[in-house]
Amino acid sequence: MKKENNCSNFLDYKVIGQEVRNWRLKGGYTQKDLAEKIGVTYQIVLQYEKGTRQISIEKLYSIAEVLSINITDLIPVSKEKICLKNEKEEILNLIREYKKINDQELRRMFCLLTKFVQVGEKSSKKTERIKIAKGLVKAGVSVDIVSQAIGLSANECVEEKFGSIYYQIGKKIKEWRLVREYTQKDLGEKMSTTRHEISNYEQGRVAVPLGRLYEIAKALSINIMDLLELTEDADDKAENELPNLIEEYKKIESQELRYALIKSLFESIQICEEKVKRAEKMKIAKDLVKGGISIDIILQAVRISLDEIQQV
């Protein structure tokens, strides 16, 4: 008994034939016209359209070229949304999207953004772990226990000695000074003071009087809250990266593109950061519960609800 060829079951040649007919009519061709252009007889085109004769890949390409369409217009594709069930399928989808980009610079940007997201996710996890670790140590939990439970070094679990308020404000002053492209001397002159005083403020060597802080904000054309709103674990590299960021941003001529960049990029990052932080909190809480640390201390340090703890 002859085995049935299951390969043909994947394609419904009647559907393909109907598509050929529809596109032929849209193009204003007769069956005879199409047959002549692809080098077959009128009867073969008739059989193609009825679905009684299989169309080779070569002929499908020929038909698509004659009708000025894409071969995918002739082949039925499922309209169902593809569910990515595992990482391998996600990678395949990533490659497909990447291959759709023809411009080399855009491909490079795609890769850079992918790396940027990966680095951002890693950084968010580390930042959250350090923040929780410091809270646990402040609550009286042993540094060794916290270090082991959260997977950080002992030094990372303890507040930095140089992390004073004025040290952090000094870093903010320097960041905004660089944004304005001022030297320390420039800023000093705008405030009728010396470069040395500005340097002392930026290094956190001396306390900045509140009145002086208002003068600095005015000289930098910013709001005083830009200097007072301190972020935990601020990255020391930021002050070196800001000039590069500003330079690249200035190269974007379109105001609409600038707005779109800020809106889409930062909204997406914020959403992802919150999800990453929440997932990291739940993971840490689970490890701390296993380590026998008090629920009350976990609630205070990790800042999640009792209901969430009970889910762990």
CATH number at residue 24: 1.10.260.40
pLDDT at 185: 95
pLDDT at 275: 72
- Total domains in the chain come to 3
| Domain closes at, from 42, 73, 104 | 73
CB 312 within 8 A of CB 286: yes
224 in the same domain as 87? no
Diameter over CA atoms, the chain: 101
209 in the same domain as 142? no
92 in the same domain as 153? yes
263 in the same domain as 245? no
Is residue 301 a part of any domain in this protein? yes
| Domain closes at, from 226, 251, 276 | 251
pLDDT of residue 300 exceeding 70, the answer is: yes
Q: Which amino acid is at 32?
A: K
SS3 of 217-285:
HHHCCCCCHHHHCCCCCCCCCHHHHHHHHHHHHHCCCCHHHHHHHHHHHHHHHHHHHHHHHHHHHHHHH
pLDDT at 5: 44
234 in the same domain as 170? yes
pLDDT of residue 41 exceeding 90, the answer is: yes
Q: For residue 195, what are the domain limits?
A: 165-251
Is residue 124 a part of any domain in this protein? yes
pLDDT of residue 121 exceeding 80, the answer is: no
Is residue 263 a part of any domain in this protein? yes
First vs last Cα of the chain: how many Å apart?
60
Banded model confidence at residue 114, pLDDT cuts 50, 70, 90: low
Secondary structure of residue 173 in the 3-state scheme: helix
pLDDT at 235: 47
**Mean pLDDT (whole number) for 137-161:** 73
143 in the same domain as 260? yes
pLDDT at 78: 54
Worst-scoring range by mean pLDDT, 82-96, 97-111, 290-304?
82-96
**Mean pLDDT (whole number) for 56-81:** 80
pLDDT at 216: 93
Mean pLDDT of the chain: 76
**Mean pLDDT (whole number) for 161-184:** 81
240 in the same domain as 172? yes
User: Per the structure block, which two tokens stand in for 177?
Assistant: 């000074």
Question: pLDDT per residue over 5-36, tens digit each?
Answer: 444 445 678 889 999 999 999 999 999 999 99
Secondary structure of residue 183 in the 3-state scheme: coil
291 in the same domain as 152? yes
Is residue 2 a part of any domain in this protein? no
Is residue 78 a part of any domain in this protein? no
Q: Which residue has the higher pLDDT, 61 or 85?
A: 61
| Domain closes at, from 217, 251, 285 | 251
Banded model confidence at residue 77, pLDDT cuts 50, 70, 90: low
pLDDT of residue 289 exceeding 50, the answer is: yes
pLDDT at 3: 42
CB 249 within 8 A of CB 258: yes
Q: Could you tell me the pTM of the whole model?
A: 0.40
230 in the same domain as 192? yes
Angle at 115 between CA 109 and CA 121, to 5 degrees: 135
Is residue 5 a part of any domain in this protein? no
Is residue 138 a part of any domain in this protein? yes
- What sign results for the dihedral spanned by CA atoms 258, 263, 268, 273? positive
Chain centre to alpha carbon of residue 177: 29
